[in-house]
Amino acid sequence: MGNGDVQRGGNGNGVQVQSVDRALAILDILARRGEAGVTEIAGELEVHKSTASRLVGALEARQLVEQVSERGKYRLGFGIVRLAGATTARLDLPRESQPVCERLAAEFDETVNVAIMDEGQATNITQVHGTAAVTARNWIGQRTPLHATSSGKVLLAWASEEDLTVALDTLERFTPNTITSRSKLLTDLNAVRKRGWACTAEELEVGLNAVAAPIRGSDGDVVAAVSVSAPAYRMTSEAYSSIAERLRAGANEISFRIGYFG
């Protein structure tokens, strides 16, 4: 048995895991060598050439490897760059959003946060307080429910079907205004997508309102949300639209800073 032929049991899951291991090993080989042919890859993996060819073909279909046509060898493809770019954007997000959040907090004189989707909730990764903030509560690292926060609604509005389904199954009530109806939340999320921003009116905490706008990564997908929150007596529903317009400009600037040029 070769090094690549790891015994994992006779079930289908074991075979799939073995294939994933080998595919990742191919990426590692190409990262180390720069270029390699199927015969060379098969030799390193200690598998039959046809097995190596099949795995390389699957990676090529995902643009994770590409063929150097004149030599018949393979190298890492643009798909790797795309994945790395998405990761880099996420890692850069707190740093790149900080100056924009500082300006927005000064402009609104309220608390501004940036949140990302994290295990079915919205996690705040950047926060700046305006001078008028009633309290200096630290939301950084705190997880908040998606359906009851403006940032969460933005993230849900552009979420995968899987994430949306999970959220719809856990609509906990926090205040009398929290949306706990699946149909009502879906209608709300549809409105968020159409107008390009979300809002909450005392849905997480009594007396707290918020507006949020989407931040997009280099591939155009929504990767985060920037929000401004304030006491309901200062941020009335009549002001949501004008607040959202300025907030969306800030969200677009953050998106540009992390590589979105749409």
Q: Who contacts 4 (Cβ-Cβ below 8 Å, separation ≥6)?
A: 21, 22, 25, 45, 46, 47
Expressed as residue numbers, the domain containing 150 is 87-257
Q: What is the pLDDT of residue 6?
A: 41
Q: What is the pLDDT of residue 84?
A: 65
Residue 125 falls inside a structural domain: yes
Q: In the predicted model, what is the mean pLDDT of residues 203-223?
A: 95
Same domain, 98 and 228: yes
Same domain, 118 and 245: yes
Q: What is the pLDDT of residue 1?
A: 37
Same domain, 144 and 59: no
- For the record, the structure tokens of 60 come out as 């090529």
Same domain, 120 and 27: no
Q: Return the H-helix or E-strand segment holding 230.
A: strand 222-231
Express each pLDDT in 17-60 by its tens digit: 888 999 999 999 988 988 999 999 999 999 999 999 999 999 99
Last residue of a domain, one of 76, 102, 130: 76
* Distances in whole angstroms, Cα of residue 35 to Cα of each of 19, 65, 168, 201: 21, 10, 47, 56
Q: Let me know if 126 is exposed, middle or buried by CB neighbors in 10 A (0-12, 13-18, 19+).
A: buried
Residue 7 falls inside a structural domain: no
Same domain, 225 and 96: yes
Contact assessment for residue 136 and residue 130, using Cβ atoms and an 8 Å cutoff: no
Residue 93 falls inside a structural domain: yes
User: Alpha helices, DSSP H only, in the chain?
Assistant: 12-33, 38-45, 49-61, 78-108, 150-157, 161-168, 182-195, 240-257
- Total of domains in the chain: 2
Same domain, 22 and 92: no
Residue 2 falls inside a structural domain: no
Q: What is the pLDDT of residue 142?
A: 82
Q: What is the DSSP letter of 122?
A: E
Here the CATH number for the domain that contains residue 60 is: 1.10.10.10
- Is the predicted pLDDT of residue 86 greater than 60, yes or no? no
Same domain, 50 and 115: no
Q: What is the pLDDT of residue 219?
A: 86
Residue 5 falls inside a structural domain: no
Fill in the amino acid letter for 127.
Q
Contact assessment for residue 192 and residue 80, using Cβ atoms and an 8 Å cutoff: no
Same domain, 67 and 157: no
Same domain, 101 and 157: yes
Reported as a pLDDT band with limits 50, 70 and 90, residue 137 is low
Q: What is the pLDDT of residue 22?
A: 92
Last residue of a domain, one of 33, 50, 76: 76
Same domain, 103 and 190: yes
Q: What is the pLDDT of residue 10?
A: 46
Residue 159 falls inside a structural domain: yes
Q: In the predicted model, what is the mean pLDDT of residues 186-208?
A: 97
- For the record, the structure tokens of 18 come out as 């073995």
Q: What is the pLDDT of residue 9?
A: 42
Same domain, 65 and 138: no
130: alpha, beta or left? (left if phi > 0; alpha if psi -120 to 50): beta
Same domain, 175 and 97: yes
Residue 135 falls inside a structural domain: yes
Chain mean position to CA 81: 17
120: alpha, beta or left? (left if phi > 0; alpha if psi -120 to 50): left
Residue 118 falls inside a structural domain: yes
Last residue of a domain, one of 55, 76, 97: 76
- For the record, the structure tokens of 246 come out as 């300025």
- For the record, the structure tokens of 257 come out as 């800073």
User: pTM here?
Assistant: 0.68
Here the CATH number for the domain that contains residue 209 is: 3.30.450.40
- Is the predicted pLDDT of residue 11 greater than 60, yes or no? no
